[in-house]
Amino acid sequence: MFRLWAKIWKNGKMKQDTVIENGEKDTRTHKVFQALEQVCYQFDLSVPMWLDTNIEEFKKVGKTKFYQDSFGESISFDALEIQVIQEDMPWE
């Protein structure tokens, strides 16, 4: 099972969160993109752009924050954070 935790931060406080699960057979990259799309749908947001800093941070620690510069429209919060909290096991 693959699980991604998404959180909306404003003024240093978590205002909203959700966990997206995906048990399908697919690549990790596809699961991350699909989960991010589901998060944005749930939070009624446009899907943010992955900047180089997001890509590098996510590769290193499985977690990143999207700020205003990643969104094509104005956001009412400080950051959208995503974090992989469970990876698929090879035997699944």
Residue 89: what pLDDT? Answer: 65
Q: What is the C-alpha to C-alpha distance for residues 56 and 60, in angstroms, rounded to an integer? A: 6
Give the DSSP letter of residue 44. T
Q: What is the mean pLDDT of the chain?
A: 94
Residue 63: what pLDDT? Answer: 97
Q: What is the C-alpha to C-alpha distance for residues 79 and 92, in angstroms, rounded to an integer? A: 33
Residue 88: what pLDDT? Answer: 72
Give the DSSP letter of residue 68. G
* Structural domain spans, the chain: 2-86
**pLDDT per residue over 31-66, tens digit each?**
999 999 999 999 999 999 999 999 999 999 999 999
Q: How many CB atoms lie within 10 A of CB 5?
A: 17
**pLDDT per residue over 10-40, tens digit each?**
999 999 999 999 988 899 999 999 999 999 9
Residue 87: what pLDDT? Answer: 85
